[in-house]
Structure 1
């Protein structure tokens, strides 16, 4: 009987701690940070099932997409969702990653898979570059002007002012 009381006491203390942590917002804070795990874990599971020879190679495409998207979402959780305005080409890049994995690990995949993956990756990189130039363009122009000015000043020194 004493053992039951001890176990019930520990259970009540555990429930109280969980309730207090929930009331303090610990679980909502953790949930808001680690929710991309619900996207990452299925992506990793699809890869494990393929490499364990349980599922066919077609699961590599959604697996690569899910892993890439979860990394984007983790980044946004850490550095703010305002960075999504720069990271949106990553969604195209996720498709390219999935297709390239299919081409890389399946010897029987069509040749067009690699070509499609490369084209989508190039489009994604071009869009990333455009987003970078649009947001950091003024800094690039300023840096080029400073370098040109320094080159003009250093290249030819006047003999006298």
Structure 2
């Protein structure tokens, strides 16, 4: 009976600590930062189970998508959600990565899977470039003007 009451006492103290930590906001802070693990863990688990030959190759598509999205969300948690204004093409890139993994590891995959992955990847890169150009356009134009000015200053003049 003494061992039983000791176990219940430890359980009650543990419950009190959990309640106090919850009241202090510790769990809220942890969950607000680490919630992308809800996507990252299944994505990595799909990859792990495929490479251990437990699941078929098709799980690489959602695995690639979930892993890519989790990395994007971690980035936004670290640097602010305003980052999503130029990271949004990553949603297209996640699908491209998943399809490319399917093509890469499936020996009997159709060529159309590779074509779809490449088209989505190119679209994603173009949108990343356009988005960065819109956000950083003034800096890019200024850099081009500086290089053009340096080129004009230091080029060799042709003698007529």
Q: One fold, TM greater than 0.5?
A: yes
State the match for 2:47 in structure 1: 47
Change (3 A) 1:22 1:150: same
Deviation of 1:42 (Å): 1.1
How far apart are the structure 2 equivalents of 1:49 and 1:147? 51
TM-score, normalisation: structure 1 = 0.88
Provide the rounded CA distance (Å) in 1 between the counterparts of 2:31 and 2:24: 13
Q: How many residues align?
A: 156
Does residue 137 of the first structure (1) align with residue 156 of the second (2)?
no
Q: Deviations over 1:24-64 (max 9, x none)?
A: 10001100111111111111121222222222211111111
Q: Partners of 1:145 and 1:111 in 2: how far apart?
A: 44
**Within-5 A mapping of 1:1-161:** 1-153=1-153
CA RMSD of aligned residues (A): 1.7
Deviation at 1:82, TM superposition (A): 0.9
SS in 2 for 1:54: coil
Residue segments in structure 1 that go unaligned for 5+ positions in a row: 157-161
Give the Cα separation in 2 of the matches to 1:38 and 1:88: 20
Deviations 1:62-110 (A, max 9, x none): 1111111111111111111111110010000001100100111010000
Query: What residue number does 1:159 align with?
Result: none
Q: State the TM-score, normalizing by the size of structure 2.
A: 0.89
